[in-house]
Structure 1
Amino acid sequence: MPGSPFGRSVLATLEEKGAPYRLAALAPGDSKSSTHLERHPFGRVPALSHDGFVLYETQAILRYLDRVLPEPPLTPDDVRQAARMDQVMNISDWYLFHGVCNVIIFQRIVGPQFFGTSTDEAAIARAMPQARTVIAELSRLLGEQPFMAGGQLSLADLQAGPQASFLSLTPEWAELTFGRPNLVAWIERLEARPSFTSTTMAELMVRAQAA
């Protein structure tokens, strides 16, 4: 699904690894088909199939890819940096997506553009306090580093980056990042990487249609 930041995390990781892969796009409604439910019983994306091994859940897929495709490494050797990577990945899942991106992005972009629904401003207002906390914490953890776990790209950036990048397309982003140029620069740094330019929503829509 081209708009899925979770799918983009996996695709960007594959691109960073320089690994050959085949994108299997889903048509609207296919996520609840019996075929897909065999891959992912919760009817979501992404799911990975590798040499007969099927895996779902983005964090599990990213860690698996970093183990079976060890170069370049995307997990820091330093135990504290690795712990920070783990922390940011969990922040992304539990606080950035749940309660923030799944509300604001849906209300601003997904609902109006793909389902023809109107924006629920009250829902966005309710999501903003958590959004402010999450963005402030990500900015604090990033500090003056180029990436979330230090000087090198890690799975933390590949997990949280697509979520934050999608959020940056909403008008709320300017308020959330006001006074936090490090977070804005982090997104710009990620979006300039070939792994991100090749996995934008527009690029994936073209690829999905050709698949």
Structure 2
Amino acid sequence: MVLKLYSGARAGGGSGIVALVLAEKQIPFEHVFVDMANGAHKSPEFLAKHPFGQIPVIDDDGFILYESRAICRYLAEKYADQGTPLLPTRLEDKALFEQAASVEFANFHPQVLKVMNESFSKKRQGLPVDEAALAQIVSELSAKLDVYEVILGKQKFLAGNELTLADLFHLSSAPFLAGGGVDIMTSKGPNVTRWWNELIQRPAWIKLREEGITGTAS
């Protein structure tokens, strides 16, 4: 049975990262659209798959898994021998990957969410942006990226010189920054800019952004 991805149609958030990993790993899948606007994610049928009523979810021949980062790790490990390598195999390199993934989850992602809530989300709702609060939050994000600049000055990617999931995880939230008028990812420093441009220029990501999540990635 072909793997099923339950998600929205747009290549954003956690669903976008799962779809990107499916594409990078050349894994065939069926896209099952979850109409969240009409409450499909809160239906009894969907809650049986994800008790919190969120997306994405995968069904891999009866194996149900939710939470995008867990899904990506599962896919990268199960299909390690095909497509783009996204997880290291040597113990020390695995530890460095988990370190980089933890940095994204604990330092970068929460700060980006704060920026999104004050800028992107408010603009979408037609609410006024507190410019002073936004400036403070962006300053805090800038300080995080100062550290990224140092790390990426020593190596090509966050976990070393090879692309890993730790890099791709940033695509779940950072693209929303520009939508909120915060163009920090390409103006912070040469190392961050080089790294970020390499991520957003990956052919699989460009295709997803243009076409949305449509199905088979083989």
TM-score, length-scaled by structure 1: 0.81
CA shift in 2, pair 1:156/1:24, >3 Å: same
Counterpart among 18, 25, 43 of residue 33 in structure 2: 25
Larger strand share, 1 or 2: 2
Counterpart among 18, 41, 47 of residue 57 in structure 2: 47
Q: Which has the higher mean CA deviation after the structures are superposed, 29-38 or 146-155?
A: 29-38
Cα distance, 1:155 vs. partner? 0.9
Question: AA paired with 1:109?
Answer: F
CA shift in 2, pair 1:78/1:203, >3 Å: same
TM-score, length-scaled by structure 2: 0.79
Asked whether the 8 Å contact 2:119–2:180 carries over to 1, the reply is yes
Cα distance, 1:135 vs. partner? 1.7
Q: In 2, distance between residues paired with 1:117 and 1:25?
A: 29
Give the corresponding residue for 2:123: 112
Asked whether the 8 Å contact 2:24–2:204 carries over to 1, the reply is yes
Give the corresponding residue for 1:133: 143
Give the corresponding residue for 1:198: 207
Q: Which runs of 5+ in 2 are unaligned?
A: 1-7
Q: In 2, distance between residues paired with 1:147 and 1:31?
A: 35
Does residue 182 of structure 1 match 2:191? yes
Cα distance, 1:24 vs. partner? 2.3
After superposition, the C-alpha distances for 1:69-124 in whole angstroms (9 at most, x for unaligned) are: 112431123433322221222222222222x22222233334433x4444343542
After superposition, the C-alpha distances for 1:31-69 in whole angstroms (9 at most, x for unaligned) are: 333333222222222211110111011221111101211
SS at structure 2 position matched to 1:198: helix
SS at structure 1 position matched to 2:208: coil
Asked whether the 8 Å contact 2:18–2:71 carries over to 1, the reply is yes
Asked whether the 8 Å contact 1:95–1:134 carries over to 2, the reply is yes
Does residue 142 of structure 1 match 2:152? yes
Q: In 2, distance between residues paired with 1:80 and 1:124?
A: 39
Q: Which has the higher mean CA deviation after the structures are superposed, 18-27 or 59-68?
A: 18-27
CA shift in 2, pair 1:164/1:145, >3 Å: farther
Q: Which runs of 5+ in 1 are unaligned?
A: none
Give the corresponding residue for 1:73: 85
How many residues are paired up? 203
Q: In 2, distance between residues paired with 1:117 and 1:24?
A: 33
SS at structure 1 position matched to 2:30: coil
